[in-house]
Amino acid sequence: MSMTQHAEPAVTSPPAPGPKETDGRTSERPLALRLLARPEVGVFLGAAAVYVFFLIAAPPVREGASMANILYSSSTIGIMALPVALLMIGGEFDLSAGVAVITSALTASMLSYQLTMNVWVGVTVALLVSLGIGFLNGWMVVKTGLPSFLVTLGSFLILQGVNLAVTKLVTGNVATDDISNMDGFGQAKKVFASSFEVGGVNVKITIIYWLVFAAIATWVLLRTKYGNWVFAVGGNKDSARAVGVPVAFTKISLFMLVGFGAWFIGMHQLFSFNTVQSGEGVGQELIYISAAVIGGCLLTGGAGSAIGPVFGAFMFGMVQQGIVYAGWNPDWFKAFLGVMLLGAVLINLWVQRTATRR
Amino acid sequence: MDRSSHSRTRRMAPFVAVAAAAALTLAGCSSSSGGKKSTEDSSGASAGKASTPRMTVALVTHQAPGDTFWDIVRKGAQAAADKDNIKLIYSADPNAGNQSNLVQNAIDQKVDGIAVTLAKPDALKDVIGKAKTANIPVVGLNSGLSDWKNLGLLEFFGQDETVAGEALGKRLNTEGAKKVVCVIQEQGNIGLTQRCDGVKKTFTGSTEVLNVNGTDMPSVKSTITAKLTQDKAIDYVVTLGAPFALTAVQSLTDAGSKAKVATFDLNKDLTTAISKGTIQFAVDQQPYLQGYLAVDSLWLYKNNGNYSGGGEQPVLTGPAFVDKTNVAAVAKYAANGTR
């Protein structure tokens, strides 16, 4: 199956040269089929299908501004879907990712406000808190050997409660105070939540970050030793350890990477909306995970890519906004979303099956 | 194994974090504007305290965690409890079955009175019957205007969501709106649907509903932007909660739309937006009043046998309009988180 092609980088020793290609046991498959067998190609076709569909069904989608809006929506999902996907390739799972975004935003906002600090202080501490949450998740998974599903379900509930209780305790309300008039806000907004004009179209900066992060993640996965470690610990933890892969380090760092993503998106939300409601974020974890799965990351680990989740997130943004651009009956909103996504995943699956069945 | 050495270095991370935070604090990176220092220490309303014997009242709502609106209801209830020498037990669950269990829990605790919201009246029917059998007075608040009497509640405090929607619809007529989009942040919520239905009923122009994912602000923003692009004729956006109104303002900019924004419910930032004119007006159902009156009424009933509305009529707490003309008077209470 699709795992086989990724099992290769999992072994750190170089593949045995020579006989493999010429001994006749495996004949070279046509380029098109080999290409189709890659998980990200299936999701690319799915995304393209959804895009073309809405291009026809919803005239406003053809405008540049609409595309910028769709990409913005995709990018806020996509920036989180990337580390979530890497974590899944590494064989683990994070259910706390959605509320962790809000935890980070709340930390930055409340710390700056309550201590009347420059907002960068809050931003820095929030980063440390987010990385700390990731570290704790990873550390517990590695130490206890419990499924990450259970560990992060626990942290999901803890964070959800803490978000609410601490916010209430500190601010006396369930939402944070407006920090938009504080020192450093303007700068931070420029970094995390600005936008610029391209040919009269307003483009949000998160789109750029999204693509840059995806490029970095792709490079790390395919070109670095760390990338090999990620595939290895997700494919087979024990044999990875046997060949000298630092399993604990790899897993914990992947959880911390999710923490970093949560911090980044949390900061984006804080600096674009000025205040944060403590009850938000619940349910988002499933959207991030869906984007990663649609993007070709296996729930069992060991396979996937960084570019796949980019298309997965795009598909989410495209369908979510496309339905509105098409002006369809909003009662069916969630049902449309589900059908579209399931359809796209099935195309993805079918493409992969046809390509690999030989 | 190398595993332990890795985790040992990693274990230092939290300490490093705390140390870094402390260092930053000491570095004196304080903000010269905004922040807590700029707000005066203002406490909420406080009246005298009743000398009546201590009683216990349970307030059981269908609040979802982290919702600003319910936080205000609870503050009102707490204020009344403090004044009346009442011990207030607050509990909430958006799931009707769980909410009914919470009411049962209150009965088991032998409280002196129960205030309950009736978002799903049928689910609470049995347990309210049990409270009556146990001789515990029950009052309704917020939702359930059409059902409180059938269920045998003593009195009811709230706003008819449909009536509030109708009032907003009429207001839109006088504002000269032609096409309205009503933004629902929680698909399938009865109260929210009734508000939009009310608007539709009295508004003479056309009304459309838009569902957004309320737990994800960036997606709320993009979806409203998408709607405004899809239908350029929209000249008024109506949101059903204060945070969504503030987000809708950003969507207008993104979509390059000239539409205006009106909303249900208030908060601190919203009053600022109304005085600045970025949001036109808000329909306030005075949640503080709902919580306050519900608890206070149980005290009155126990100590003087009174019941508001005589058990026949509900006591309406809204709809009250907050716009540029009266926002200044409301703003300072909103800043306290009580309006």
Mean pLDDT, residues A33-52: 82
Q: Which residues of A touch B186 (CB under 8 A)?
A: none
A-chain residue closest to B249, CA distance: A273
Residues whose CB is less than 8 angstroms from the CB of residue B252 and which lie 6 or more positions away in sequence, other chains included = B228, B237, B258, B259, B261
- The secondary structure element, H or E, covering residue A220 is helix A205-223
- Distance, CA of A44 to CA of A355 (rounded, Å): 15
A65:B229 CB<8 A: yes
A117:B209 CB<8 A: no
Residue A330 or A151, more confident: A151
A182:B7 CB<8 A: no
CB nearest to B223's CB, from A128, A252, A320: A320
Do A170 and A179 touch, CB atoms closer than 8 A?
A: no
Task: Write down the pLDDT at residue B254.
Answer: 92
Residue A111 or B143, more confident: A111
B35:A113 CB<8 A: yes
Of A28-37, A175-184, A307-316, B161-170, where does mean pLDDT reach its minimum? A28-37
Do B228 and B258 touch, CB atoms closer than 8 A?
A: no
A117:B13 CB<8 A: no
Mean pLDDT of chain B: 87
The per-residue pLDDT for range B19-76, each reduced to its tens digit, is: 665 665 555 677 777 777 766 444 456 667 888 899 999 999 988 877 778 889 999 9
Do A151 and A94 touch, CB atoms closer than 8 A?
A: no
Task: Report residue B17's pLDDT band, with 50, 70 and 90 as the boundaries.
Answer: low
Task: Write down the pLDDT at residue A247.
Answer: 95
The per-residue pLDDT for range A144-184, each reduced to its tens digit, is: 999 999 999 999 999 999 999 999 899 888 889 899 999 99
pTM for this one?
0.83
Residue B79 has pLDDT above 90, yes or no: yes
Q: What percent of chain A has pLDDT over 70?
A: 91
The per-residue pLDDT for range A43-80, each reduced to its tens digit, is: 888 899 999 999 999 999 999 999 999 999 999 999 99
Task: Write down the pLDDT at residue A10.
Answer: 43
Q: Which residues of B touch A135 (CB under 8 A)?
A: 10, 13-14
Residue A333 has pLDDT above 80, yes or no: no
Task: Write down the pLDDT at residue A329.
Answer: 80
Task: Write down the pLDDT at residue B219.
Answer: 94
Task: Write down the pLDDT at residue B25.
Answer: 55
CB nearest to A66's CB, from B11, B229, B250: B229
Task: Write down the pLDDT at residue A26.
Answer: 57
Interface predicted TM-score of the whole assembly (ipTM), two decimals: 0.82
* Residue in B182, B187, B224 with CA at minimum distance from that of residue A273: B224
Residue A247, chain B, CB below 8 Å: the answer is yes
CB nearest to A128's CB, from B3, B20, B36: B20
Q: How many residues does chain A have?
A: 358
Nearest-CA distance B68 → chain A (Å): 6
Give the three-state DSSP class for B263: strand
First to last CA, chain B: 60
Task: Write down the pLDDT at residue B45.
Answer: 61
Task: Write down the pLDDT at residue A12.
Answer: 46
Phi, psi of B56, deg, nearest 5:
-120, 130
B67:A65 CB<8 A: no
Residue A130 has pLDDT above 50, yes or no: yes
Q: What percent of chain B has pLDDT over 90?
A: 64
Mean pLDDT of chain A: 87
CB nearest to B215's CB, from A128, A168, A283: A283
CB nearest to B66's CB, from A179, A246, A278: A278
Task: Write down the pLDDT at residue B87.
Answer: 95
Q: Are strands B281-284 and B260-264 parallel, antiparallel or unpaired?
A: parallel
Task: Report residue A14's pLDDT band, with 50, 70 and 90 as the boundaries.
Answer: very low
Mean pLDDT, residues B224-253: 95
The per-residue pLDDT for range A235-252, each reduced to its tens digit, is: 888 899 999 999 999 999
